[in-house]
Amino acid sequence: MNLRTPEARGPAAALLHIDWTRCDGRGLCTEILPELLARDDWGYPLAYGYGSAGAGSNVPVPDTLLAAAADAVSLCPRQALTLVDP
């Protein structure tokens, strides 16, 4: 199933908050959440389906990707990610 548009992913169960002052574009989160995140030209995460600006600092995460998002939060080497209520 192609989950690369916000519509296909459905309602957000949580928001993946990216703290840009911490993120160093290491690409672990984009590997763990390939349905949700691509890497921009500099290696930083960019949410699919929101145009070139991405979803900004809060990426809506559907229910099905919640567990993967939690893994990304705990594995980000810069502790740049948190899950917040939508």
Partner 1 sequence: MNEALWALGRGTGVVSLALFTVSVLLGILNRSGRPLFTLPRFSVALVHRNVALLATAFLAIHLVTLFGDSYAQLRLVDFVVPFLGAAKPFWLGLGTLAVDLMLAIVITALLRGVVGVRVFKAVHWLTYLMWPVALLHSIGNGTDVGQTWFIAFAATCSIAVVAALVWRLSRGFIEYQNVRVERAS
Please report, as ranges, the residues that interact with ligand SF4 according to CB under 6 A.
18, 23-29, 45, 76, 78, 80-81
Identity at 59, one-letter amino acid code: V
Residue 49 in tokens: 């389906």
CA-based nearest residue to 17, from 53, 49, 45, 40: 45
Choose from partner 1, ligand SF4, none: what does 41 bind? Cβ within 5-8 Å by kind.
partner 1
β-sheet bridge partners, residue 62: 12
**Contact (Cβ atoms closer than 8 angstroms) between residue 83 and residue 73:** yes
In the range 6-25, which residues lie near partner 1 by CB under 8 A?
22, 24-25
* Nearest approach, Cβ of residue 31 and ligand SF4 (Å): 8
Binding residues vs partner 1 (CB under 8 A): 22, 24-28, 31-32, 41-43, 71, 74-75, 77-79
